[in-house]
Amino acid sequence: MLRLFTKYRRTAALGLALLASFLLMTFQTRQQGDLVLPIKRALVASITPALRLTNLITTSASHLWQGYLDLRKVRQENLRLREEISSLKERFNALQESALEGKRLRSLLELKEETRLPLKAARVIGADSTNWFRTIFINKGSEDGIGRNMPVLSPEGIVGRVVEVMPRAAKVQLVTDPSSSIAALIQRSRVMGLVTGELGTRARMRYLPLMAEVEVGDRVVTSGLGGVFPKGIPVGKIERVDRKGGSFFQEARMSLSVDFSHLEEVLVLTKVPSAEVRWLQGKEQEVTR
């Protein structure tokens, strides 16, 4: 009998539950409420904790799911905002680069208009910065009217000269090249010398008369001798004066007017003028007759 009950315990439990429900309904309809009410209260009290637990689980699961959905939306919004910020940064950088380029080109245009020189604008497309030779390459060549030994300038002053010409490009020897030499003079005292390049971003002014008046801070401009560079173009400033004992000349170390580390556009002078050039730096003329 026990084995039989164990085997069919689920069926028996279901039967007992149905029987209890039937008896409850019978008592509720035929008897007074005083007997049914305690049983009903007992049943309600017994299932209330389960109902509360079920409701808590359901509510928590709903909140978790809603939180997950909200988190996904926030994460997607973050990704979208990051992409938008990245795109805006790229656009800002492009606009900033365009603004800087426009500013440089305006300087070149103003220089061309103010000096009224036959200048042709060119872009720097390459550089050779070995220890023995200082050159750059520009995107204008013989097809654009560029020839050898033409001076190359920037709004700040002398850049160098064209040493090699190709149909659509040219090589420019910078004033920093040790083999470069420019006839120049000190603007204040009109003392003449020869500016040669040094390894680095500076130059030296050589063959200055021993008794010549040379001071730190003096501006140096081209003298116009030699037939390559016109007279009056800024070259640099005197930084230090060297007077060696027993020498017939004195020398001076110079800082150059042009910042070659930020050189992107240049002007090629296609014809050397016969008169001294009135050069402009910013809005003031620094070279006077």
Q: Does residue 144 lie within any of the structural domains? A: yes
**Cα 209–Cα 252–Cα 161 angle in degrees, nearest 5:** 100
Q: Does residue 4 lie within any of the structural domains? A: no
Q: Does residue 201 lie within any of the structural domains? A: yes
162 touches 172 (CB < 8 A): yes
CATH code of the domain in which 209 resides: 2.40.10.340
Q: Does residue 128 lie within any of the structural domains? A: yes
pLDDT digits (tens, 9 = 90+) for 137-168: 999 999 999 999 999 998 888 999 999 999 99
pLDDT digits (tens, 9 = 90+) for 42-67: 655 555 666 566 667 777 777 777 77
How large a percentage of the chain has pLDDT more than 70?
Answer: 63
Report the DSSP pairing between strands 249-256 and 219-222: unpaired
Q: Does residue 271 lie within any of the structural domains? A: yes
**Cα 236–Cα 239–Cα 245 angle in degrees, nearest 5:** 120
Report the DSSP pairing between strands 181-186 and 170-174: unpaired
- Which residue is it, tokens 């014809």? 271
- Domain encompassing residue 266: 116-285
Q: Is the pTM of this model over 0.75?
A: no
Q: Does residue 82 lie within any of the structural domains? A: no
Q: How confident is the model at residue 6, as a pLDDT?
A: 57
Q: Does residue 105 lie within any of the structural domains? A: no
How many structural domains is the chain composed of?
Answer: 1
| Residue-averaged pLDDT of the chain | 77
Q: Does residue 79 lie within any of the structural domains? A: no
Residue type, 249: F
Spell out the SS3 assignment of 244-288.
Answer: CCCCCEEEEEEEECCCHHHCCEEEEECCCCCCCCCCEECCEECCC
185 touches 235 (CB < 8 A): no
Q: How confident is the model at residue 211, as a pLDDT?
A: 87
**Cα 15–Cα 19–Cα 22 angle in degrees, nearest 5:** 140
pLDDT digits (tens, 9 = 90+) for 62-105: 777 777 667 777 777 778 777 777 776 777 666 665 556 666 65
110 touches 280 (CB < 8 A): yes
pLDDT digits (tens, 9 = 90+) for 206-231: 999 988 889 999 999 999 888 889 88
